[in-house]
Amino acid sequence: MRILLFLVGFTFISLQANALTPDIIKDGDVNGIYATLSDFRHNTPYLIDGKHHGDKVKLNQFFFSPTINCAEDGQSKLFYKDSIFAITLKDGRKFRFINREPYLIADTSCLYIYSLKKIISERKQEGPHTRTANKVVTAYFFSTGDHSSVYPLSMLNLRQKLNVSKAVFDRLEKEFTTDDALTKTDKQTGRFRINDLLLTEGK
């Protein structure tokens, strides 16, 4: 009985979380898998085209499984989320699994910049009562070099991980006075402003 109640409670919490998260990926939305960074850079994914009977993808997100199961033209393949580089969706969006969670690949023009929708709880005072409300916030991350590691997008992490001259970094610090400023995009280019600046500097 306790196990049943736990499973019901867990299912309810999971459904609530899914309802509050905009970037839910459905299995049927997946178009292909980039096994390596090279595959990603050359846009050569392992495709699941859905043209054959039984073609399917199972992301196994519900219990944070480490694997992705694929079937294409009668052949089955198993991928590990922490081993592949990314997945691509039919709408063109691309996601990378970090700790089994799908991070949207938002910009690859210089730094690779990722975003993740997270649910946080806030306590609000309403007269004599305090209530807790959930809301969705977006966290940003980046990778550079061989892109094997992903870090929160902050000036501190950029100082430690970004391989640029002191003059370039001084300009970054002058341009981006807060970590929040690093998350802004340019309406004309569609890129993150930090990537525009790095491209201008020739990095």
In the chain, the amino acid numbered 141 is F
Q: With pLDDT > 90 as the criterion, what percentage of the chain qualifies?
A: 61
At how many degrees (to 10) do helices 193-200 and 166-175 cross?
150
The mean pLDDT of 81-95, rounded to a whole number, is 95
Residue 6 has pLDDT above 50, yes or no: no
Residue 103 CB partners (closer than 8 Å, separation 6+): 95, 96, 97, 114, 115, 116, 141, 150
The number of residues in the chain equals 203
Q: What is the pLDDT of residue 69?
A: 92
| Choice among 31-45, 60-74, 150-164 with the minimum mean pLDDT | 60-74
| Sequence spans of domains, the chain | 23-91, 108-203
Strand partners, 192: 185
Residue 182 is encoded by which pair of tokens? 């690093």
pTM of the predicted model over 0.85: no
The more confidently predicted of residues 201 and 178 is 178
Residue 4 has pLDDT above 70, yes or no: no
Residue 172 is encoded by which pair of tokens? 């970054």
pLDDT band at 127 (very low <50, low <70, confident <90, very high): confident
pLDDT band at 3 (very low <50, low <70, confident <90, very high): low
**Sheet of strand 56-58: strand arrangement:** 56-58, 67-72, 75-80
Tell me how crowded residue 176 is: count the other CB atoms within 10 A of its CB: 19
The more confidently predicted of residues 33 and 65 is 33
Tell me how crowded residue 13 is: count the other CB atoms within 10 A of its CB: 10
